[in-house]
Structure 1
Amino acid sequence: MSDRFLVTGGASLQGKVSVVGAKNSVLKLMAAALLAEGATVLTNCPEIADVPLMADVLRGLGATVTLDGDTVVVDTPAEPKFHADFDAVKQFRASVCVLGPLLARCHRAVVALPGGDAIGSRPLDMHQAGLRALGANSAIEHGCVVAQADSLKGAPIALEFPSVGATENILMAAVLATGVTTIDNAAREPEIVDLCDMLVQMGAEISGAGTSTLTVTGVQRLSPTTHRVVGDRIVAATWGIAAAMTRGDVEVTGVDPAHLQLVLHKLADAGAVVTRLDNGFRVTQRERPTAVNFSTLPFPGFPTDLQPMAIGLAAVAEGMSVITENVFEARFRFVEEMVRLGADARTDGHHAVIRGIPQLSSAPVWSSDIRAGAGLVLAGLVADGVTEVHDVFHIDRGYPAFVEKLSGLGADIRRVAG
């Protein structure tokens, strides 16, 4: 049996909390280290469960990986292996981001279909279509993505949807291709910009980072570098929403508030006083939050990763909220767990309708993914009695020192083994 959290509601979160590097960036940066022979050093890395998992994937490809606190060193050999096996890859989704680097370096890649959170269909069609446009053959064979190309050549590529994963894999393949690649309708997330920044430091030629069109001029080789991982906007926003839900006062540092403009705007709409700082923000909520509607969209829209926290906020807000999920269709399974906690919520297709109540009621609940787990803990903070949150290994994959950070803000939470 996995560990569980016991969360006693009633505390108003107060104080300061810092965030480190983003889960949604560090794993891709580790994969990008495969593009250059030698030792790439990443700093400000989160100490979360997915980092050693990615290290195991890279070790299986011949790299030497050392983890020391918030520093990760990936030493890539002259000839990496090209087969990422099932045992290493099956545990988390981000492992598929080795596909582009392996194709660029080895001209072939065999990557087992990845596992990860149960939040809905995330097919690899756009990944494969982009790689085919660069001249690769790609297919699904025996549970693996198999890609091969004698050489990669730049090409115009238009994505049907601004997929983060597809943008990353195509980008990392294109940096060593011959000629110019344009990626239209590219993802614009800050983590994509972070990847572009590191690739440029390694010697890549990329323009348009942070816009919907990336232009990549291929180079013959890249060199290892040292890079600081961008702050985790999702973790930072989790603490901000927790402050609003518990009518608290929390200062969050270690993140660029420009990466959370819409989120902070929504918190202000809910009645919070939001102060933007040079390296973070402060959220102060004195009264019960006011209901606000949310609609998840790719950046700069409201992040799908924060949808469970938005539902938690709506559950205790005054009035009715409508949350629309436009990215991952299965994320609303979280609502079933919120109903266990007494939330007045129902779903209809891509929409969830929540009528806020003053306080939730404690109950045993189960995490289905990283963000759902964090959202359930936040809900437990505004419930009566003690809420048991099970399967918290999901939370360990995305939130470093989760219990310690919340306890430092005054939450009554403890971890229980088994």
Structure 2
Amino acid sequence: MSVVTITPAVHGLRGTFTVPGDKSIAHRALLLGAIARGPTVVHGFASGADNRATLAACESLGVAVTARDGALHIDGRGWDGLRAPATTLDCRNSGTTMRLLAGMLAGRPFVSRLDGDASLRRRPMRRVLEPLARMGASIIAEGADGRAPLRVEGRPLRGATHVLPIASAQVKSALLLAGLQASGTTTVEEPASSRDHTERMLAEFGTRLTRGPRAVTLAGPQELRGANVRLPGDFSSAAFLIVAALLVPGSELRLTDVGVNPTRTGLLDVLAAMGASVLVEPEVGNGTEPRATLIVRSVPLRAARIGGELLLRAIDEFPILCVAAACAAGRSELRDAAELRAKESDRIAVMAETLARLGAHVEELPDGLTIEGPTRFAGGLVDSHGDHRIAMAAAIAALVATAPVTISDADCADVSFPGFYDLLAKAGGQ
């Protein structure tokens, strides 16, 4: 466990930076490359802990992955190239790894066991196990109340129509992976649009599918072909630098090659409602994911009320959005985020605790927070609870505090943003 102390910024943040490759898209590139026939090359892979868990799982399933020339090379042998793992697949702290593997392995003719750390064992898995069971999957939750470890007893699957009660890209992706190896048609309908990285990448790998506004359909079984994938910078990582530049007076940051998939960029719309103007300069790139250079300058923020589908599009950015709200003038309300109570930490409760420790006026609600601003943060000790997004949000708050902020278990930031503290220092944060 590491401890990092961040001192208040003494001048504006400046410079041009590239954030690590997108974590969510990297998971999908690895798994689709593993089941595709032919070579797949993944450029821009960031070796955060979550992505390393997925990479290790692929190797344990008999897939050869090598790093050379700045890229990952996956020797895909198709569905039949997967082999029964000799040991339990350790998903570490990655819910994406566990849920997507559950769908991918549900139709394979062998038994697999998926496990993770204590945090992952506390997170709900029934939301993905129940719809997979309707496709004929046999997955036994060995933990209490439908939680990990999971024993996946592979068997033939049949297509099904799923109407999800809650929009979830992870559940949707697991069902599509199962549908690729099932007999018949699989449809996934959601009440709101979740991130669509899986659908976009399936098309890159040659999958035939049909997309509607909130539904996707594919017929199985299908075999994928290898692809050349260039990962954009992770918008959720860029979010911390965006808010930092808005809050620290005299700042101007340029963030290049950032993924700006519209299902992910709700934060930009939220910040616009708070008075910010982030300049988005589209870039021409390979693949199906839009990308852009983002130019951010400091500006005073005003309070906003955020919920519904807009909050869903900024769900991973909730911790740093809370920091922005605490610095904005007025009373902000962030609602419809109840699912965050079952992340790496209870992000609603932990952000309420973090902001209060730093002197903000905050009220915890069942599905979010109300936050009074503007706050001049005090210094002190913040517990990250081992949650990468909490640690990085606290680091940004420290830049506009009146005294240094010490963050416990700070190296958890490496889960999604390897080198975060070094990049922050280069930009002018201490």
Distance apart, 1:83 and its partner CA: 4.3
Equivalent residue number for residue 416 of structure 1: none
- The 1:336–1:33 alpha-carbon spacing in structure 2 relative to 1, beyond 3 Å, is same
- The 1:51–1:90 alpha-carbon spacing in structure 2 relative to 1, beyond 3 Å, is closer
Equivalent residue number for residue 157 of structure 1: 162
Equivalent residue number for residue 285 of structure 2: none
Structure 2 CA distance, aligned partners of 1:225 and 1:346?
Answer: 48
Equivalent residue number for residue 306 of structure 1: 317
Q: Which amino acid aligns with 2:4?
A: F
- TM-superposition CA deviations, 1:21-62 (whole Å, max 9, x none): 211221232122332355422112223232323222222222
Q: Do the aligned residues in 2 keep the contact of 1:34 with 1:102 (CA within 8 Å)? A: no
Equivalent residue number for residue 285 of structure 1: 298
Equivalent residue number for residue 400 of structure 1: 418
Task: Please give the TM-score of this superposition, normalised by the length of structure 2.
Answer: 0.85
- More off after superposition, 274-283 vs 259-268: 259-268
- The 1:75–1:216 alpha-carbon spacing in structure 2 relative to 1, beyond 3 Å, is same
Equivalent residue number for residue 329 of structure 2: 318
Distance apart, 1:76 and its partner CA: 4.5
Distance apart, 1:230 and its partner CA: 4.0
Query: 243, 246, 271: which is aligned to 1:267?
Result: 271
Q: Do the aligned residues in 1 keep the contact of 2:3 with 2:410 (CA within 8 Å)? A: yes
1:27 aligns with 2:30: no
Structure 2 CA distance, aligned partners of 1:101 and 1:249?
Answer: 43
Distance apart, 1:85 and its partner CA: 4.5
Identity %: 23
Question: What pairs with 1:224-235 in structure 2 (closer than 5 Å)?
Answer: 224-235=226-237
- More off after superposition, 81-90 vs 304-313: 81-90
Structure 1 CA distance, aligned partners of 2:280 and 2:206?
Answer: 34
- More off after superposition, 260-269 vs 140-149: 140-149
CA RMSD of aligned residues (A): 2.7
How many residues align structurally?
404
Equivalent residue number for residue 126 of structure 1: 127
Query: 328, 342, 347: which is aligned to 2:359?
Result: 342
- The 1:350–1:126 alpha-carbon spacing in structure 2 relative to 1, beyond 3 Å, is closer
Q: Which amino acid aligns with 2:179?
A: A
Structure 2 CA distance, aligned partners of 1:70 and 1:339?
Answer: 43
- TM-superposition CA deviations, 1:338-359 (whole Å, max 9, x none): 2222222231322322212442
Question: What pairs with 1:4-403 in structure 2 (closer than 5 Å)?
Answer: 4-10=3-9, 11-68=11-68, 71-76=71-76, 78-83=80-85, 85-86=87-88, 88-96=90-98, 97-104=100-107, 106-115=108-117, 122-141=123-142, 143-148=148-153, 150-185=155-190, 188-190=193-195, 192-193=196-197, 195-208=198-211, 211-247=213-249, 248-257=251-260, 259=262, 261-278=265-282, 279-286=292-299, 288-295=300-307, 301-324=312-335, 325-329=337-341, 330-332=346-348, 333-368=350-385, 369-403=387-421
Q: Do the aligned residues in 2 keep the contact of 1:167 with 1:187 (CA within 8 Å)? A: no
- The 1:262–1:63 alpha-carbon spacing in structure 2 relative to 1, beyond 3 Å, is closer
Structure 1 CA distance, aligned partners of 2:67 and 2:21?
Answer: 14
Q: Which amino acid aligns with 2:338?
A: N
Structure 2 CA distance, aligned partners of 1:45 and 1:345?
Answer: 38
Structure 2 CA distance, aligned partners of 1:26 and 1:67?
Answer: 14
Q: Which amino acid aligns with 2:161?
A: P
Q: Do the aligned residues in 2 keep the contact of 1:273 with 1:285 (CA within 8 Å)? A: no
Structure 2 CA distance, aligned partners of 1:12 and 1:171?
Answer: 45
List gaps (5 residues or longer) in structure 2: 283-291
Equivalent residue number for residue 415 of structure 1: none
- The 1:377–1:233 alpha-carbon spacing in structure 2 relative to 1, beyond 3 Å, is same
Residue 24 of structure 2: SS of its match in structure 1?
A: helix
Q: Do the aligned residues in 1 keep the contact of 2:53 with 2:92 (CA within 8 Å)? A: no
Structure 2 CA distance, aligned partners of 1:42 and 1:186?
Answer: 32
Structure 2 CA distance, aligned partners of 1:389 and 1:291?
Answer: 26
Structure 2 CA distance, aligned partners of 1:91 and 1:28?
Answer: 17
Q: Do the aligned residues in 2 keep the contact of 1:7 with 1:381 (CA within 8 Å)? A: yes
Structure 2 CA distance, aligned partners of 1:241 and 1:388?
Answer: 19
Q: Do the aligned residues in 2 keep the contact of 1:263 with 1:302 (CA within 8 Å)? A: yes
Structure 1 CA distance, aligned partners of 2:192 and 2:317?
Answer: 18
Task: Please give the TM-score of this superposition, normalised by the length of structure 1.
Answer: 0.87
Q: Which amino acid aligns with 1:237?
A: A
